[in-house]
Structure 1
Amino acid sequence: MADRRPCKVCNFTRQKSYGLVVPSLEELKVKGSEFLGFTPHNPVTVVLEDDGTIVEDEAYFWCLPLNTKFMLLHEKETWSPLRRVDGGTAWMARDSVILESDVVDAQSAQSTSPWLDLALQLKQDLASIILMCEEDLQCLVDVPCPELASALGFQEKKAENFQETLQRVLDRREEERQSKELLQLFVKTVAKEDGQSQEETRRPSEGGADVPDGMELDQASGFNSRTLMVLKGKTSPETRLSTEDLQAVVAKGAEAMQQVLGWDKVRTTTLLQYCESELKRRLQQIQAVQSLRGNMPQGDRSQPSNENHDEESKATSPHSGK
């Protein structure tokens, strides 16, 4: 093995890692590209995975320690440091075994990057964005643009436009909530002037000051603490919940939700009406997007154009007519 060196190679996102034994730097490029699934004959750049140093000299390659980890980059890819949000211990599980052709479990990489699951959903079906809650959308907005582009298979400019569209959707939802709050305040003021009771003017979305602790209700209600917090204390909760949460609320019915929330029948029924209306609106948007996709030529479905992307982004807007 004197003329062959054990090493490791990974791709830009570090989701794939292989152990190799190669006799030269050139063989590292060829064999590494084959294992990583790169297009044959496309030029690649070899850099050190830990600091991004470019490795071009054969003599320098042989001076490096055994089992050095390299990263192979395409023309438009650049090295970026590993984001370790787990205290820097993820590498211990990932690098503990060095075997030729051994693929590192992608779940360890996804555990440090929660947005990857969302990106994979979008890559399989872009219409799934309609089902995401605001927390998921904000997560995708906060991802560094080059990383999101690589995960979605987009050009970096297209990924940037995609993030800007998501941010506009979030801004519009916030504007809609603020407008609704002002309207509710106006209605409440008029009602007081007309001598109506405060109970008659309260809306389900005006969370009261005394919100009961929902921790004891979690197991019995089937909702997590975040969902209960949104239902009880947030303005326009139906716009903040995911589609799955909306379905759960509607499925429980008025009587069960009345016990979960501790509200009166009128207030609970009104909340359910809002949730049913929001759920119906989202399902109509999904049907509209799927109908548009069904009318697209077969060749356009695997990689949606910017125009089709804009249409699908409009479908997520709360001001959409669909």
Structure 2
Amino acid sequence: MTEIKPCKVCNFTRQKSYGLVVPSLDQMRIKGCEFLGFSPDAPVTVVLEDDGTIVEDEGYFLCLPRNTKFMLLQEQESWSPVRRIDGGTAWMARDSMILETDDVDGVSSEPEHWQILAQQLKENLSSIILMSEADLQILVDRSVPELASELGFQPKKVQMLQETLLRVLDNKEEERQSKELLELYLRAVERKDGEQTEPSQPRQDVVGDMDVPDGTEVDSVSGFMTRTLMVLKGKTSPETRLSSEELQMVVAKGPAVMAQVLGWNAERTSGLLQACDAELTRRLQQVQVMNSLNSQTQLASGQQQPEEESAEDSHNTSAKDDE
């Protein structure tokens, strides 16, 4: 039976808000449009009311806590953070829009993305679990004074927080690398089995032709995914956070191209490429070790079977002599 989830919906001005009980993201979108007075045929985008994260995946929707508040946006509407005025006791709306920016001498005080993430952590540290790797990397790369000022923490506590974020990021990367290593191993086993039954087939080169998930932004100039560029420019050991296919693409581009893509000098770029090449070699060696273990296992299994058959034949011969 599908779980029924209570949640809340509001329009982009936050002037209308309703509570719903729905079994799925689609039902929440349909009922939300009905309550908010939207046309049933109009395209609607669902975002989290507190930070504007777009919600399109059914699995992600089901993982969110009960009573999560969503904002339904029609065309030409966009999410904006809440602005409190009069000491937080009143709300101002103008021209059917909530106050989006506080301008002082013509300078906008609209918070940056890292400041929004910092506020999420300040309100609830467990929100780390729902943050993407890109968001975690943004917080890790911020300077300690900036983050301390935004969070209201002591610098030492901010350093400990960044170390925790880095460990979470590393754990996610290790999980991905383990998955990729297993996939490489399974591909190698399938390729070996295929070579035994069919003639050799041309090998597809993955360099420069990575599988790009739907909805992932790709830089039109370099051909790299946005996440890949962000990881490459990270502070600590970016080569360990890239997939094997991404490492192959980085090494194949060469120092000159990568220096232009990253905007680095030749020495720094060369150091990164050497680290990527070494990491790629290490992973390939791991695959070779696993293939060797697999071959030894198959050989031992093949030797054991004839020995069992020989023992069975000997037993049958002995039985016939007794008769």
When the two structures are superposed, what TM-score results if normalisation uses the length of structure 1? 0.30
When the two structures are superposed, what TM-score results if normalisation uses the length of structure 2? 0.30
Q: Which protein has the larger Cα radius of gyration, Structure 1 or Structure 2? A: 2
Higher relative contact order (CA 8 A, sep 6+): 1
